Structure formats: structure tokens, C-alpha cells
Amino acid sequence: MSCFTFLKVMMILFNLAIVIGGGVLLGIGIWVSVDSSSFLHIFGPLSSSVLQFVNVGYLLIAIGAVLFVLGFLGCCGAQKESKCLLIMFFSIVLIIFIIEVAAAVVALVYTSLAETILQGTVVQLLKNEYNKTSDITTVWDTTMNNLKCCGLSNYTDFTDSYYTTHHLGLYPPFCCKNSNPCNATTAESSDVPGCFPQLLSEIRKNAGVVGGVAAGICALEIAAMAVAMYLYCGLDEK
């Protein structure tokens, strides 16, 4: 078996795995979007931490769809020995790789700015959607109950929110210690901490695992691009 044939077979098998993985992520994304409470129950506090910052369901659907298309291009490109499909595969992987590197640089260099923007975005989501959208309400209820916290920064995140407007100025019970009803005065005296520091702590505990997975993905992307380009150039010699 020649080197070209071996790499062609490996390319097909590798991209079949990507197609299957993309399909699995699509299924999980749909499941999370439809039934986030089960996702929270199975994966615990970390899942609720992540769900504060990104809509995991839609994110997984998007990633699954991209992987499915990418795997299809790579598999068909190698099988049919199509230069067009191979160069499309190479280009998409290269774009994804550049985006990942850029995101990593931004996250490292502008950590404080990213956190500020993130806080502003999540607080607005909390004010407008808590107790209005069932998925967001379930995620926040689980988080505040498990971490014994209130809002992202503190109880003031609920001031003039959808919740207080529709509950005669009252705050969620998580914002008060043994107080019913929970109004602004009792919430201030209870001094229940915000969830943001604890959420960051939960995420940072798993930073090593996330970093290792990211490094592995980057290595696979580089290998995939190298093989795709080798096959592309090899077709000219056939």
C-alpha cells in the first residue's frame, strides 16, 4: 500500500468519525434545547455554570452541524479524489483554526474586558428573561439553589427586572436568608453573595481539562490540514 493510499484511507476513516461525532453533538444539542433540566440533573453544577454564559443547546447544534458538513467534505473529497472538496475541507479547517487561535489570544490578553462584557450581557439576560423564559429560569434557579447565591453580582441584578415587576417588587427567595417575603430591604440585610465569583471558580477548576482538549483538537486540525494538502498535491502526480 502506497503512502497516498494509506493517507486516503485514514482521511476517510477520520472524517467518518467526525460525521458521527457531529451527528451525536446535534442530537445532544437538540436534547439540551428541549429538556435543559435533565442536562442539569445529569451533569451537575458545572453544567449550570456553563449555561449561564452560553446557550449550550444552540452551541452544540451549531458545532455539530459544522462538524457534520466538514466530515462529509473530507470523506467525500478523499473517496472521490476531488481537489475541489479537499481544498474546501482544508480552507474550512484553516478558518476554524485561525478563529480558535484568535479567541485564545483575546481571552488571555483581554480577560478583564471579556469578563466585564460578559457580566453586562448576562445581567441584561437575567433582568429580561428570568421567570419569563423557562430554560433560563430553570438554569438560574438550579445555580442559585446549589451555590447559595443571588443574581450575578448580587440582589440588585433583579432591580426593575421582569421578576420584580410581576411580583409586586419582591425579589427571588434565594436573595434572602430565611425571609418571606423577600423585598429590597431584607435582601440588602441578608447580603447573599452573587453567583459570578463561584461560577468562575467552577469553570476554572476544569480549565486544565478544557485546555488539554483544546490542544488536542488543534493538533488534529493541523494533522487534518496536512493530510488534505498532501492528498490535494498528490492528485496532480497521479
User: What CATH number has the domain bearing residue 178?
Assistant: 1.10.1450
Give CA–CA dist 54/45, Å, rounded: 15
Same-domain check for residues 180 and 226: no
Distance CA 83, CA 77 (A): 7
By residue range, what is the domain housing residue 42? 3-109+207-237
What Å distances lie between residue 223 and 2, 32, 115, 170, 190, CA to CA? 19, 31, 33, 57, 55
* Cβ neighbourhood burial of 137 (10 Å; 0-12, 13-18, 19+): middle
- Is 189 found in the same domain as 127? yes
pLDDT at 51: 52
CA dihedral (11, 14, 17, 23) in degrees, to 10, reads: -60
Residues 9, 99, single domain; the answer is yes
- In sequence order, the 6+-apart residues with CB closer than 8 A to the CB of 62 are 29
For residue 180, what pLDDT is reported?
75
- What stretches in the chain show pLDDT beneath 50? 45-46, 49-50, 52-54
Predicted TM-score of the model (pTM): 0.62
Check whether residue 45 and residue 23 sit in a common domain.
Answer: yes
**C-alpha separations of 226 from 13, 89, 111, 143 in Å:** 16, 11, 32, 44
Query: Of the candidates 169, 167, 203, which has an alpha carbon nearest to the alpha carbon of residue 183?
Result: 169
Kindly state whether residues 13 and 100 are assigned to the same domain.
yes
Same domain, 134 and 89: no
Whether 25 and 88 share a structural domain: yes
Judgement on whether residues 80 and 167 belong to the same structural domain of the protein: no
Same domain, 86 and 148: no
The reply to whether 77 and 191 lie within a common domain is no
Owner of C-alpha cell 419569563:
132
Give the three-state DSSP class for 179: coil
Angle between helix 134-147 and helix 196-205 axes, rounded to 10 deg: 80
Domain count, the chain: 2
